[in-house]
Chains A and B, each alone.
Chain A
Amino acid sequence: MGDHHHGPAKGLSRWLFATNHKDIGTMYLWFSFAMFLVGGAFAMIIRAELFQPGMQLIRPEFFNQMTTMHGLIMVFGAIMPAFVGLANWMIPMMIGAPDMALPRMNNWSFWILPPAFLLLLATMFMPGGGPAFGWTFYAPLSTTYAPPSVTFFIFGVHILGLSSIMGSINIVATVMNLRAPGMTYMKMPLFVWTWFITAYLLIAVMPVLAGAVTMMLMDIHFGTSFFSAAGGGDPVLFQHVFWFFGHPEVYIIILPAFGVVSQIIPAFARKPLFGYDSMVYATASIAFLSFIVWAHHMYTVGMPIAGELFFMYATMLIAVPTGVKVFNWITTMWRGAMTFETPMLFCIGFVVLFTIGGFTGLMLSIAPSDFQYHDSYFVVAHFHYVMVAGAVFSMTAAVYYWLPKWCGKMYNETMGKTHFWISFIGFNVTFFPQHFVGLAGMPRRIPDYALQFADFNMISSIGAFIYGASQLLFLYNVIATIVGGKPVSDEKVWEGAEGLEWTVPTPAPFHTFSTPPQVR
């Protein structure tokens, strides 16, 4: 492993048999971007249908498949693999390791992903159509009333769960065993810290998801009744099991985003991150709390008052460590010598919009109010503020920030800034009005709506088309950079950037840190 120097293999085998963390990271990033475009196309279909009230373009059954597949693809196919790709690229370079601890398993955890998503997408061409029960696949919609293709969906979830588990074990093994001499835990860059904790979350909850879909499989094919009242089971049990996975899952998505932002803001504020220790402890607290708040997704199933109160207060408690993080980012910027290159713009956009998403989350955490907000467009607006303006914005920032290091070429700054502003405006035009229609009572996951919601929905759809189109600009900018960007040779691409990844040559050679650096 890295002790004899050779370049990458030629042709297809370089990628098929890749064990190099940078190659695997690159494949993850491209795969996730492809999935982002597929999931985005589904979102465009949804918004086109909702452009006007009444049924315009597609049948309701297909609409349900679109909302379901959009959610599944974006969560499991776009955001998660994107951050795994970033982890593959950056963690070894940030801790001074030559590669990931388990390079061959790394290859496998990537290469089982494309088949899993091919399987998932193939269900849409099967009799009865693909999954149409929402990305949360509540029983009995996903068992008794599911299309026959649900078995393939279950198998797909098993495979991608396996991929995530293997990827996480690899990250934990790398961070625990391959740090450079002198790189103590409390000297690790925050991106490494957040991924270290995220990996633990994944290892703890992906098996729970696997358990949930296994129970579905058994209910459908082997005559058990985990979720079927007829045989003594309970559909509400599904929701408990799902959200026991699902709530940590939302932090699995957002914690690496926190890490990215904590790397980029200090670089462009030209100040060290304010409150490094508190950032680490806040991340750990959020991870712990994520295990004891799951039932706030299901206030309306008929829980005892004591349960509602417990989950309400526990959920509100998460605002404390999250607030610590937001204030730390703001304090890092405070009186810094700030410049506003594209990565910084996306990070500031992240801080502002994620905070709005956090506040609507607090509103939703209040059990008595949630009975009004539950399953409305308010919820849709809330989680898109944290998922898109949170995870996707930070991921975009990360690509702009590290792309020059990866390929040795500078992206077009004007195009990058244009991408940011179109994204920022498009995003808000799409999702801000959804708060209003949600509070006014428009339910989510419906292909048609009452006439009074028409104007806001049209605005929303226009925003969505703008936001969607801006991602094509992003794609163009990245390809143009790789093909013909202005070469950079400075090791430290950004004036204020700190960390081991900026001590290796630009572009980062195939093998880095074959001899570990000494960290003081």
Chain B
Amino acid sequence: MRPFGDNPVALTVAKMAAVVVLMFSFVFVVMVPLYNVLCDALGINGKTSGVAYEAATIQVDESREITIQFIATNSDGMPWEFRPSQTMMKVNPGAVNDTVFLARNPLERDMVAQAIPSVSPARAAEYFHKTECFCFNNQPLDGLQSTEMPLQFIVDQDLPRDIRTITLSYTMFDITEMASDAIASR
């Protein structure tokens, strides 16, 4: 056996244990934030920006029309009636467009909901700018009440020419419990 005076085994174990701790922290400290930053920055995964778009000087591109389709879905167990006021719009890139989504809480209790947007094709997400959206905030709605939720958006004039239709889908989640725990921050 080797002399264990300076204990090389303990040194190896200490190094390896450090790697284990490092990799475990890596998941939480690097992977999760990095994933969110990348998705936001690159507009990938169909994620649109969670904050209002600051309109720069934009010229309206009259030469083409883009079809925007709206989809409203309830997540599992969400009882709200939730639908777009119009299912389809034809818009010019660069123009400011307005529409509303309709929601009704059929229950007798007050609820809070959060809509999560997704754009398809995912490639179009970074060209779809929302200047105002009900998805930026959570939506409280008293029991048996209805509401109109506004959406204002601009399709970027740099949108690739092969994209003629963009589908904007919202999924409505019941976050009443989370909101009461003051966890929801968006």
B19 interface contact, C-beta 8 A: yes
B16 interface contact, C-beta 8 A: yes
Once bound together, how far apart are the Cα atoms of A144 and B35, in whole Å? Answer: 21
| Cross-chain contact A230 with B175 (CB below 8 angstroms) | yes
Once bound together, how far apart are the Cα atoms of A251 and B45, in whole Å? Answer: 28
**One of B1, B26, B28, B45 near A3 (C-beta < 8 A):** B1
| Cross-chain contact B45 with A230 (CB below 8 angstroms) | no
Chain A residues lying within 8 Å of B173, measured Cβ to Cβ, are 229-230
Chain B residues lying within 8 Å of A2, measured Cβ to Cβ, are 1
| Cross-chain contact B27 with A176 (CB below 8 angstroms) | no
Chain B residues lying within 8 Å of A3, measured Cβ to Cβ, are 1
Once bound together, how far apart are the Cα atoms of A3 and B26, in whole Å? Answer: 42
B186 interface contact, C-beta 8 A: yes
Q: Nearest residue in B to A140 (C-beta to C-beta)?
A: B76
Once bound together, how far apart are the Cα atoms of A241 and B36, in whole Å? Answer: 13
A337 interface contact, C-beta 8 A: no
B104 interface contact, C-beta 8 A: no
**One of A165, A172, A207 near B27 (C-beta < 8 A):** A207
| Cross-chain contact B178 with A230 (CB below 8 angstroms) | yes
| Cross-chain contact B1 with A231 (CB below 8 angstroms) | no
Chain B residues lying within 8 Å of A215, measured Cβ to Cβ, are 27-28, 32
> Interface majority SS on B: helix, strand, loop or mixed?
helix
Chain B residues lying within 8 Å of A208, measured Cβ to Cβ, are 23-24, 26-27, 31
A178 interface contact, C-beta 8 A: yes
Residues B1-46 near A (CB distance < 8 A): 1-2, 8-9, 12-13, 16-17, 19-24, 26-28, 31-32, 35-36, 39, 42, 44-46
| Cross-chain contact A237 with B32 (CB below 8 angstroms) | yes
Chain A residues lying within 8 Å of B8, measured Cβ to Cβ, are 176-177
| Cross-chain contact A304 with B183 (CB below 8 angstroms) | no
Once bound together, how far apart are the Cα atoms of A2 and B2, in whole Å? Answer: 12
Q: Mark B158-186, 1 if CB is under 8 A from A, else 0.
A: 00000000000001011100100101111
Known contacts: A203-B20, A207-B24, A304-B123. The answer to whether A173 contacts B184 by CB under 8 A is: no
Residues B91-144 near A (CB distance < 8 A): 114, 116, 122-123
Number of interface residues of A (CB under 8 A): 45
B145 interface contact, C-beta 8 A: no
Max chain A Cβ within 10 angstroms of own Cβ: one of B45, B46, B122? B45
Known contacts: A211-B28, A302-B45. The answer to whether A98 contacts B35 by CB under 8 A is: no
**One of A168, A229, A234, A304 near B35 (C-beta < 8 A):** A234
Q: Nearest residue in B to A244 (C-beta to C-beta)?
A: B31
| Cross-chain contact B122 with A302 (CB below 8 angstroms) | yes
Once bound together, how far apart are the Cα atoms of A102 and B9, in whole Å? Answer: 8
A80 interface contact, C-beta 8 A: no
| Cross-chain contact A241 with B27 (CB below 8 angstroms) | yes
Known contacts: A205-B23, A302-B122. The answer to whether A230 contacts B44 by CB under 8 A is: no
| Cross-chain contact A102 with B13 (CB below 8 angstroms) | yes
Q: Mark A229-251, 1 if CB is under 8 A from B, else 0.
A: 11110101100110010000000
Interchain Cβ contacts under 8 Å between A and B, 26 examples: A101-B9, A101-B12, A173-B16, A177-B9, A203-B16, A207-B21, A207-B23, A207-B24, A208-B23, A208-B26, A208-B31, A210-B24, A211-B23, A211-B31, A223-B183, A226-B32, A230-B173, A230-B178, A231-B178, A231-B183, A234-B39, A237-B32, A237-B35, A302-B45, A303-B45, A307-B44
Interface residues of B (CB under 8 A from A): 1-2, 8-9, 12-13, 16-17, 19-24, 26-28, 31-32, 35-36, 39, 42, 44-47, 50, 75-76, 114, 116, 122-123, 171, 173-175, 178, 181, 183-186
With A208-B24, A211-B28, A241-B32 given, name 5 new contacts (CB 8 A). Answer: A165-B20, A169-B16, A177-B2, A223-B181, A231-B178
